[in-house]
Amino acid sequence: MGVPSTALFTDQYELTMLQAALKSGTAHRRSVFEAFTRRLPEGRRYGVLAGTGRVLDAVENFRFDEDQLAFLREKKIVDGATLDWLAAYRFDGDIWGYPEGEVYFPGSPVLRVEGSFAECVVLETVILSILNHDSAIAAAASRMSSAAGSRPLIEMGARRTHELAAVAASRAAYIGGFTSTSDLAAGFRYDIPTVGTSAHAFTLLHDTERDAFRAQVDSLGQGTTLLVDTYDVAEAVRAAVEIAGPELGAVRIDSGDLLLVAHRVRQQLDELGARNTRIVVTSDLDEYAIASLAAAPVDAYGVGTQLVTGSGHPTCSMVYKLVARAESADPAAPLVPVAKRSTGGKTSIGGRKWAARRLDAQGVAEAEVIGTGSLPTELAGRELLVELVKGGEVLARETLDTVRERHAAARASLPLSATQLSRGEPVLPTEYL
């Protein structure tokens, strides 16, 4: 599926800054911008970087077409010289970043964008829009998948968010450890496995629950999943096994005391000879509810609202800041570190940064180390940033399975306390050199 122009996914002040910089002669100074977060959401022990692949698509498709230029002209948002510059815009710089799926911590320079001030500044909003949304969803998904252990998770939140955000959420959830989605658009665009059978409406459509079960089994086979909580759960389970036989694939429970009901349903299925029939639970789950069901005879979880809203943290508060710029427009001019200095926790650290993760003697991560000078010898081979775009050309794209596997490995390299759901500080300290 093609990506449309992303050029107007832009706050107006980026274009007015561009106009002023073009007029003052500073627009072509070589500049370095970094995306990072100053803190993790309260109670989170680590962040998960997601959306990098979508950022690369957005940068490639940041093109102003005639209609968009006409809009800017008619609304008098920028002047004619700026419109001419935008008409020819193509990002020609370099982008470095943490590999998608990697974990991050406060201050981690998860994305570094280098080029002229003009070509970098206009990308701010679209980059932050993608990274803040996708990383928030991936972090929630990671916590949920950790709580679920080996049990699979189904993403089913499309009806709880914007239709396009739902597709991005499915992608981020898959990175964070979910195994499938109910959203066909996500399956089509990103090749994520899709699942789904029926809702309560299908049962209510029929004269009896048995009629509904029989129709579903006749159409979808004995391996289907039957929803058993429309009326009486025990009666529904009995009818489901009688109609589908002991080869019934699964039953889904969507209400009630899930812990208690799951135990009762498992016992009933076993007594009816359906020992291999799985139990899927849904009903507004989050990581805490999933953890509370760890001892229950549950085989899979379906998660919607809490996932696509970041389980209480729908953004990860990333910012995009100028950290270095050249003294002039001369390509050979040296870079000068720059940083915002203000009160209220909004200070930043200037300079083009590297990042590395220090490990202890057992190979467990013990610190996120960030610096602007030379990389210490002992951190060689532990650098985190990789080159993503060179001279405006995307160097490589990765499959979602590769990104998903990277996240699982990154999370496994953290101290065990990283996956605790209790409130606490980031599991790794950030050290600056």
What are the tens digits of pLDDT across the range 176-217?
A: 999 999 999 999 999 999 999 999 999 999 999 999 999 999
Average pLDDT of every residue of the chain = 96
Strands (E), 314-397: 318-326, 335-337, 354-359, 365-371, 386-390, 393-394
- Please name the amino acid found at residue 433: L
Tokens linked to 261: 């009901």
SS3 call for 209: helix
Kindly tell me if the per-residue pLDDT of 347 is higher than 90.
Answer: no
| Tokens 């009816």 belong to residue | 272
Q: How confident is the model at residue 2 (pLDDT cuts 50, 70, 90)?
A: low
Stretch 420-431: mean pLDDT, rounded?
93
User: 352 phi and psi, to 5 degrees?
Assistant: -75, 120
Question: Is residue 9 a contact partner of residue 129, using CB atoms and an 8 Å limit?
Answer: yes
pLDDT tens string 268-278: 999 999 999 99
* Neighbour-count burial for 50-82, b at 16+ CB within 10 Å, e otherwise: bbbbbbbebbbebbbeeebbeebeeeeebeeeb
Distance of CA 360 to the CA centre of its chain: 29
Q: Is the pLDDT of residue 1 over 60?
A: no
pLDDT at position 362 is: 94
The pLDDT tens digits of the residues spanning 51-78 come to: 999 999 999 999 999 999 999 999 999 9
Is the pLDDT reported for residue 322 higher than 80? yes
The pair of three-digit structure tokens given for residue 136, joined into one six-digit string? 């928030």
Domains of the chain (ranges, CATH numbers): 12-136+313-432 (3.20.140.10), 149-310 (3.20.20.70)
93 is written with which tokens? 């710089």
Task: Give the pLDDT confidence of 203-214 residue by residue, as tens digits.
Answer: 999 999 999 999
Of the candidates 280, 314, 18, the residue with the CA atom closest to the CA atom of residue 161: 314
**Contact status, residue 337 vs residue 321, Cβ threshold 8 Å:** no
Q: Are strands 47-48 and 103-104 parallel, antiparallel or unpaired?
A: antiparallel
Average pLDDT over residues 289-300: 97
Burial of 409 (0-12, 13-18, 19+ CB in 10 A): exposed
Q: What is the per-residue pLDDT for 21?
A: 98
Instruction: Tell me what pLDDT residue 342 has.
Output: 73
Dig out the tokens for 152 from the structure: 């699979």
